[in-house]
């Protein structure tokens, strides 16, 4: 990535500290990803993107900015990309998934904050992530308390817009979220200088729907007995989807799906027959958090699906494309986004229904619920989820972890014992 040094300098990054990150990432990626056998050829695209993670896409974004486009950084799957795209803006995910950034976050946040928030704040304050430097505006949301307060710190030296996410799902909440989306659209118009028309928003809705459909095809490939792709590889595809151009993302995911569907026809599996199938649920796994998938898949099981924001919550449910007024489109967006079942809602029976449904669809032998330390929302929801799984006769394991490797051995032992029970 040395070709990008000047670009990083121009972005005001801390090059010495950033170098340390650049040194560890290839080894971590090699150990976790390149050690796998018989990977789908189409994964070459995502391997390349990771090898240039702080170079190739940032360069594209900077070029787009030179051509007058604005970049919006987001932290949650409730923020509707469609609105930004309709105003000729670009969306990039900003959630931090590395322990490297956590100490920087701990300088200003309580230690008892979830690692995702600490890493995101650390990445910004330590000046070691180009995406945080490039974004012209950050878009936050009122989901959990930790994020809400962190946005006050993050918004100190960059324009910050916070969307007020309802905490319940009554009709009046859907109306409220549609209003909130309409207000966000006004802000985006003002910031980009571009008007959002019905036609442009409809085109953006179709673009994002196509991306969702393509990702859904990749996921669907592991519903059958044959497992043509590892959970690790599918997770990487999902993680990169938050950063990539949506049209290219759809194209590459469709290409991967074609290969996986052919592999299924030819019975090409990346796991031996009879490998135990795990449905993972819980808090999101932002790049480069591959720890749990790695432990599970090197313990003799396969992750066949993720009920997570870095999983099915990101692409399930399409936005209605038939609306002919902006109000109708905002309502359609609200309805789709409010189908997302984050633990910040109360009550949140939809997530439990999703987990039970997905366990069936993907023929899971067991559910592992993973919680990032100090996320009390998902931690508390575990009680109801575990009971529902037990009632449905689904084996359940609850785990809590962070971004460090200090609990890797303990995780291996607990996951190993869980798999042993299944056998
Ligand atoms: S829709 S899961 S992306 S809020 S893990 S920061 S909730 S303390 S990331 Fe999330 Fe949107 Fe919900 Fe998804 Fe807070 Fe919990 Fe940390 Fe979390």
Annotate 368-393 with b (16+ C-beta within 10 A) or e (fewer).
bbbbbbbbebbbebbeebbebbeeee
Using alpha carbons, select from 252, 274, 262, 266 the residue that is nearest to residue 221.
262
pLDDT tens for each residue of 51-91: 999 999 999 999 999 999 999 999 999 999 999 999 999 99
Residue with CA closest to ligand 1 atom 17? 283
Q: From the CB of 355, is ligand 1 less than 6 Å away?
A: no
Q: From the CB of 116, is ligand 1 less than 6 Å away?
A: yes
Dist. CA 50–CA 21, nearest whole Å: 13
Q: From the CB of 144, is ligand 1 less than 6 Å away?
A: yes
- Centre of ligand 1 to C-alpha 423, Å, is 33
How many angstroms separate the Cα of 296 from the Cα of each of 25, 230, 370, 385? 21, 11, 12, 21
What are the residues whose beta carbons fall under 8 Å from the beta carbon of 280, sequence distance 6 or more?
Answer: 231, 292, 293, 296, 303, 305, 306, 307, 308, 311, 367, 368, 370
- Centre of ligand 1 to C-alpha 102, Å, is 16
**3-class SS letters over 303-326:** EEEEECCCCHHHHCCCCCCCCCCH
pLDDT tens for each residue of 373-394: 999 999 999 999 999 999 999 9
Dist. CA 172–CA 178, nearest whole Å: 10
Residue with CA closest to ligand 1 atom 13? 309
Reading phi first (left if > 0) and then psi (alpha if -120 to 50, else beta), residue 68 is in: left
Residue 41: is its pLDDT beyond 80? yes
Residue 334: is its pLDDT beyond 70? yes
Q: From the CB of 309, is ligand 1 less than 6 Å away?
A: yes
Is the CB of residue 7 less than 8 Å from the CB of residue 62? Answer: yes
Is the CB of residue 7 less than 8 Å from the CB of residue 58? Answer: yes
The two tokens of residue 91 are 């969306």
Q: What average pLDDT does this structure show over 218-230?
A: 98
Q: Crossing angle of helices 231-241/246-265, nearest 10°? A: 160
Dist. CA 62–CA 35, nearest whole Å: 33
Q: From the CB of 201, is ligand 1 less than 6 Å away?
A: no
Average pLDDT, the chain: 97
Dist. CA 361–CA 346, nearest whole Å: 26
User: So what's the pLDDT on residue 423?
Assistant: 83
Q: What average pLDDT does this structure show over 84-111?
A: 97
Q: From the CB of 11, is ligand 1 less than 6 Å away?
A: no
How many angstroms separate the Cα of 310 from the Cα of each of 56, 72, 192, 307? 22, 19, 28, 8
The percent of residues above 70 in pLDDT, for the chain, comes to: 100
The three-point CA angle 46-258-93 to 5° equals 35
Residue 1: is its pLDDT beyond 80? no
- For ligand 1, what atom is nearest to the CA of residue 144? 14
Residue 395: is its pLDDT beyond 70? yes
The two tokens of residue 359 are 């366990």
Dihedral of the CA atoms 200, 205, 210, 215 (nearest 10)? 140
Residue 411's CB is within 10 A of a number of other CB atoms, namely 20
- Give the residue, out of 93, 102, 114, with the most ligand 1 atoms within 8 A of its beta carbon, to mutate for a pocket test: 114
Is the CB of residue 230 less than 8 Å from the CB of residue 297? Answer: yes
Q: What average pLDDT does this structure show over 7-20?
A: 96
Q: From the CB of 285, is ligand 1 less than 6 Å away?
A: no
User: So what's the pLDDT on residue 2?
Assistant: 64
Q: From the CB of 71, is ligand 1 less than 6 Å away?
A: no
Residue with CA closest to ligand 1 atom 7? 144
Q: What average pLDDT does this structure show over 14-23?
A: 94
Banded model confidence at residue 151, pLDDT cuts 50, 70, 90: very high
Residue 3: is its pLDDT beyond 90? no
User: So what's the pLDDT on residue 194?
Assistant: 98
User: So what's the pLDDT on residue 308?
Assistant: 98
Dist. CA 131–CA 137, nearest whole Å: 11
pTM here?
0.97
Banded model confidence at residue 188, pLDDT cuts 50, 70, 90: very high
CB neighbour class for 48 (10 Å; exposed up to 12, middle 13-18, buried from 19): exposed
Residue with CA closest to ligand 1 atom 14? 144
Beta-strand pair 395-401/301-307? unpaired
- Give the residue, out of 377, 382, 402, with the most ligand 1 atoms within 8 A of its beta carbon, to mutate for a pocket test: 377
Is the CB of residue 241 less than 8 Å from the CB of residue 277? Answer: no
The three-point CA angle 272-274-279 to 5° equals 100
- For ligand 1, what atom is nearest to the CA of residue 371? 5
**3-class SS letters over 331-390:** HHHHHHHCCCCCCCCCCCHHHHHHHHHHHHHCCCCEEEEEEECCCHHHHHHHHHHHHHHH
């Amino acid at each position: 990535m040395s070709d990008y040094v000047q670009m990083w300098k121009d972005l005001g990054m801390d090059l010495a500290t950033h170098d340390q990150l650049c040194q560890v990432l290839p080894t971590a990626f090699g150990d976790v990803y390149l050690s796998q056998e018989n990977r789908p050829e189409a994964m070459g695209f995502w391997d390349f993107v990771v090898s240039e993670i702080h170079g190739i896409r940032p360069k594209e974004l900077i070029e787009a900015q030179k051509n007058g486009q604005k970049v919006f950084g987001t932290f949650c799957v409730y923020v509707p990309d469609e609105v930004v795209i309709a105003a000729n803006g670009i969306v990039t995910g900003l959630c931090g998934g590395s322990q490297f950034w956590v100490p920087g976050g701990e300088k200003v946040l309580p230690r008892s904050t979830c690692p995702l928030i600490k890493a995101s704040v650390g990445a910004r304050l330590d000046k070691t992530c180009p995406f945080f430097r490039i974004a012209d505006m950050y878009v936050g949301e009122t989901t959990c308390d930790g994020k809400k307060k962190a946005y006050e710190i993050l918004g100190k030296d960059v324009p910050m817009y916070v969307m007020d996410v309802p905490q319940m799902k009554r009709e009046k909440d859907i109306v409220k979220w549609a209003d909130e989306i309409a207000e966000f659209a006004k802000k985006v118009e003002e910031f980009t200088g571009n008007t959002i028309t019905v036609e442009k928003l409809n085109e953006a809705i179709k673009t994002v729907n196509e991306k969702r459909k393509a990702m859904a095809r990749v996921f669907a490939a592991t519903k059958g007995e044959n497992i043509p792709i590892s959970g690790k590889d599918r997770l990487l595809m999902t993680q990169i989807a938050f950063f990539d151009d949506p049209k290219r993302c759809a194209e590459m995911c469709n290409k991967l799906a074609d290969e996986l569907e052919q592999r299924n026809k030819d019975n090409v599996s990346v796991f031996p027959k009879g490998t135990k199938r795990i449905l993972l649920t819980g808090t999101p796994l932002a790049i480069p958090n591959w720890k749990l998938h790695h432990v599970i898949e090197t313990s003799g099981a396969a992750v066949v699906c993720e009920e997570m924001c870095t999983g099915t919550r990101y692409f399930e449910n399409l936005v209605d494309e038939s609306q002919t007024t902006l109000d109708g489109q905002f309502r359609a967006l609200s309805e789709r986004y409010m189908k997302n079942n984050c633990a910040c809602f109360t009550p949140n029976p939809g997530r439990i229904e999703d987990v039970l449904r997905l366990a069936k669809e993907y023929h899971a032998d067991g559910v592992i619920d993973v919680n990032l330390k100090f996320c009390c929302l998902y931690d508390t929801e575990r009680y109801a989820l575990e009971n529902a799984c037990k009632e449905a006769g689904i084996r359940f394991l609850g785990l809590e972890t962070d971004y460090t490797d200090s609990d890797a051995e303990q995780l291996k032992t607990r996951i190993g014992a869980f798999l042993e029970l299944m056998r």
